[in-house]
Structures are given as C-alpha cells and as structure tokens.
Structure 1
Amino acid sequence: MQQAPSTSPFAMPSLFSFLDMNATVLAVSLAVFLLAGFIKGVIGLGLPTVAIGLLSLVMSPVQAAALLILPSMVTNGWQLATGGAFLALARRLWGMLVGIMVGTLAGSGLMGVDGGRRAIVILGLALMLYAIAGLAAWTPSVRPGLERWWSPVIGLLTGLVTAATGVFVIPAVPYLQALGLQRDQLIQALGLSFTVSTLALAVNLGQGGAFSGGVGWASLVVLVPALLGMAIGTRVRGMVRAASFRRAFFIGLLLLGLHLAWHITELAPW
C-alpha cells in the first residue's frame, strides 16, 4: 500500500480514512489478527510477532504497531491473569521488566527512521533468528546466580528490539524459557513481559503522535478478531499436536522474515 507523504514518520490517518483507504488492507488486517489470535490461543504466544510481520507487508511498521497496542494489551492481560504467580514473578523478573522499559523508551523513534524501511529489515532478521532458534529446539539455561545480572541486559535488548520493530519476543522469550519455569508460570511470565513491552511501546508511539485521529478506534476494531481467534485457538489447543503446530509456526515465521528482509533491500539502496 502506497502511503501519502507525511511530515512525521509517526503521522497516521483518521479512523475513517484508514478504514476506507483500501478495503483490501482492512480485510487483510482483520484476517491477520484473527490468525495471530488463533496462534496465541494454541501456543500462548505469537500475536505481536505474526501481526507485525504480516501487516508490514501492506503498511508501515509504525501503523502496524499502533494497531497492535489494544489487542496486545487485552490478550496479554488475559494471559497474565492465569497462573496465580503474578507477585512472585514480578519480584523475580523486575530487573528484566525495568530493562524493557528503559530500552524501549531509549529507542524511541527508531521504528520511523527512513520511513520504516530499516525497521522492516530488522524485523525480518529478528523473525528469522526467532524461527531458527525455535526450529532448532534451542533450550538454553541460566544459572540462578547469574539471573540477576542477565535479566536487566535481556530486558534492555528486548526493549531496543521492541522500539525498532514492534516485536518483543527476542531475546525475552528464549531467556524466560531458560529460567526453568513451570508451564503455567512460563505462560504467565510471557504475559507479564509482553504487557510491559506493550505499555512501553504505546508510550513511544504516543509521544510520536501515532495515536492521532482514529487509530485507537481502529485498534479496537481489530481487537474483535484477535479475541475471537484466541478463543478458537484455546478451544482447539488439545486437538492438535503441539510440536507439529509449533514447527509449522516457526517455518512460517522464517519464510516471512526472509521475504521482509530480502524484498525491502531490493526496493532502494541504503
């Protein structure tokens, strides 16, 4: 989709101009959030990764990230409410959470550089890295004595990646998996990390004017298919082979990352 020139990389159309700009883009957005919600319902993650990755094919990363905020907040809040270990996890992961906030705020504006072209390349590379780690079944481990040192570093790096791409899985997800948490605690820890990342990203986008016009309402519109997809995914979770589904998910991310990184570098020289 061709975007009109703007004086600010964060400029956004009004709700009605956004929805009426291109019916195909609207349909794609609704379908993407339905799919992203479904994947999150099945495996407990993937909504921001899938949504930002696919929407970046038809709009700028800044627009995609702005649409993501409300669906991400609501679905991660849903995920955060399960597990019963919120306070214990918050005390354990506070260094990582502070790092996420600092890194995201420090990277404010990175996503809009060069009209978002570099952000798309970085996003493609991040998706490829995440997919390769997932396909390789990489299972790192962190010794308890090193956790307090690693947590702020991982949080800071995650925040910078979030600021640049709108995706907050690298390196937070592999790190949380390396802590040896029980399944329910891991899901809740992911929800906690994603919620903090979403809040920090929302601050960045808000400071850049990304929520001007009716973008907040547009985010509310795409929340509906995200919740529907998550509900469907949760119901079918026990009906599919988790390993096969995750493999297909990571293969899809790898191909999407390759496409984003390769296609955008062909458009124009740096």
Structure 2
Amino acid sequence: MENAQLLLFIAATFLLAGFVKGVIGLGLPTIAVGILGVVMAPAQAAALLVVPNLITNGWQIATGPGLKAILARLWPMLAGIGAGTWAGVGLLEQQKDGSATLWLGIALVLYALVGLKAAKLRVPAAAEGWLGPLIGIATGIATAATGVFVLPAVPYLQALGLDKDELVQALGVSFIVSTLALSVGLLGTGALNPSVAGHSALALLPALAGMAAGTVIRNRISAGAFKLCFFAGLLALGSYLVLRAAG
C-alpha cells in the first residue's frame, strides 16, 4: 500500500473507531487494532493508538458527572489493570496466531447476547473490594496480549448499575489507565518511539472528529436506546474480532 493510501486508510479507520466510541463509550482500540492489523503488526497498531486513546478518553472522563466518586469506587480495579498489563508486557508482540483475539471476540459476543436478552448482571457492593482487583488484573493481561481493553472490565462496569453517563465516564477512566500502562510496556519493547508517537498524534484528528459526531447521537438517545446500542456495538465488535482471527 502506497503512503498516501495508507494515510487515508488510517484516517478512515480512526474516524470510524472514534464515531463508535462517541456513541457507546468504547470501541476505539477494538476497531482500530482490528482494521489496522490488515496493514501492520498488532504492536504497531497499539502504539499508533496511544495518543488518540489518551485524548479521547480524557474527553470522555471530563464530560462525565462525577470523577471523584468514580475513582473512589474503581481504584482497586484500576490498580489491578496496571499490575496485569505490566505483568503481561511482551505478550502483544509474541501474538502470531491470533488466538488471544479470537477468544476475546467470542467472549464479547457471548456477553453481548446475554445483554441483548435483557439479563441483568449485578455485582453486590460487598464484592467490589475483592472482585475489582481480580477483574483489573485479568483486564490488564488481556490488554497486554491483544491491545484491546474491553474484557472483563466492560461487563464488570456495566454490572455496577451505573447510569448512562456514569458508565461512559467509568469506561473512560478504565481505558485511560489501560492506555498508560500499555504505553509503558510498548516503550520498554521499543514498539513506541518518538516517530510512532508523532504519527499517533496525527491519528488524533480523525478520531476526535468521529467521536464528536458519535457523542451528538448519544446525547440525543434515551437510556433504553443507549443500552441497545451498547450491546449491539459489543456484538458487532466481538463478531468482527472472531471473523478476523478466524480468517
């Protein structure tokens, strides 16, 4: 692929990924890593995502209702994410057969189907203290292996009973911690360097444009419609990962 075509391909990928993130609060790394994997290694795609992930999730956090309360409630999980990601440093570069992505996609599909059937998963408040760190560590290891931050953090957060805006803000907090932890690992393996960081900054523009458009839609839909979009989006993301890994 020629340079001009590659740039257009990357820009279109981030525009689409940003739009999905704007609507349902997640999907930027899932879509971008999946599509960019056609033209580059997973570790390269993950490195290209660093700046867009940091800024879009920062925006998502800033526009939420109550950051202090979210941090107070989620810090055990967030600490686990950091520990799990650093423990799994190097797994992304070792992934050759796509098996981690395949299982991630299957788990997403199953969770989305449960959600679309209106089954309500709930985490008792008393369990958050011990379950949060375990969820965080598992999410961190999955992040280190796939470059995608969704499992099992997203089902856990959704099961906390947060409202639409609280959930989107909590997702942003979780994803920005995952991005920072993964960035440290990518720096250590050499996948993230000043040149890649510059290219990552350029990818921010289409990601922000897409996210702005998606946010407008999210602000105009009801809580019920958001829930439907949320699980349908997870189903689409999971199906895409399964098809890509299997192909």
Calculate the TM-score normalised by the size of structure 1: 0.83
**2:215 is equivalent to residue 234 of structure 1:** yes
Provide the rounded CA distance (Å) in 1 between the counterparts of 2:110 and 2:13.
22
Provide the rounded CA distance (Å) in 2 between the counterparts of 1:35 and 1:184.
21
Which string of whole-angstrom CA distances, capped at 9 and with x for unpartnered residues, describes residues 187-233 of structure 1?
11111111100000110001111123510111011110000001111
Provide the rounded CA distance (Å) in 2 between the counterparts of 1:109 and 1:162.
11
Provide the rounded CA distance (Å) in 1 between the counterparts of 2:177 and 2:242.
28
Which string of whole-angstrom CA distances, capped at 9 and with x for unpartnered residues, describes residues 117-173 of structure 1?
14x331232123113311331531111111101000000000000001110110000
Change (3 A) 1:132 1:177: same
Provide the rounded CA distance (Å) in 2 between the counterparts of 1:202 and 1:122.
19
Which string of whole-angstrom CA distances, capped at 9 and with x for unpartnered residues, describes residues 86-139 of structure 1?
1222121111011000000000000111xx314x33123212311331133153
Is this contact kept in 1: 2:23–2:217, CA < 8 A? yes
Match of 1:249 in 2: 233
State which drifts further: 219-228 or 209-218.
Answer: 209-218
Provide the rounded CA distance (Å) in 1 between the counterparts of 2:120 and 2:4.
43
**2:217 is equivalent to residue 223 of structure 1:** no
Provide the rounded CA distance (Å) in 1 between the counterparts of 2:40 and 2:20.
22
Cα offset for 1:35? 0.3
From 113, 129, 146, the equivalent of 1:165 is 146
Q: Secondary structure at the match of 1:52?
A: helix
**2:101 is equivalent to residue 117 of structure 1:** no
Q: What letter is aligned with 1:189?
A: A
Match of 1:134 in 2: 112
Cα offset for 1:43? 1.4
Q: For 1:26-41, list aligned pairs within 5 A.
A: 26-41=7-22
Q: What letter is aligned with 1:204?
A: G
The gaps in structure 2 that reach 5 residues or longer are: none
Match of 2:187 in 1: 206
Cα offset for 1:42? 1.2
Change (3 A) 1:48 1:94: same
Which string of whole-angstrom CA distances, capped at 9 and with x for unpartnered residues, describes residues 49-82 of structure 1?
1111221222111011001110000000001112
Q: Mark the structure with the bigger radius of gyration.
A: 1
Provide the rounded CA distance (Å) in 1 between the counterparts of 2:235 and 2:26.
15
Provide the rounded CA distance (Å) in 2 between the counterparts of 1:251 and 1:95.
28
Q: Secondary structure at the match of 1:136?
A: helix
Q: CA RMSD in A?
A: 2.0
Change (3 A) 1:96 1:254: closer
The gaps in structure 1 that reach 5 residues or longer are: 2-20, 264-270
Is this contact kept in 2: 1:36–1:226, CA < 8 A? yes
Match of 1:259 in 2: 243
Is this contact kept in 1: 2:80–2:137, CA < 8 A? yes
Q: Secondary structure at the match of 2:192?
A: coil
Calculate the TM-score normalised by the size of structure 2: 0.90
Change (3 A) 1:148 1:111: same
State which drifts further: 41-50 or 224-233.
Answer: 41-50
**2:65 is equivalent to residue 88 of structure 1:** no
Q: What letter is aligned with 1:217?
A: G
The alignment-based identity, stated in percent, is 49
Match of 2:155 in 1: 174
Q: What letter is aligned with 2:13?
A: V
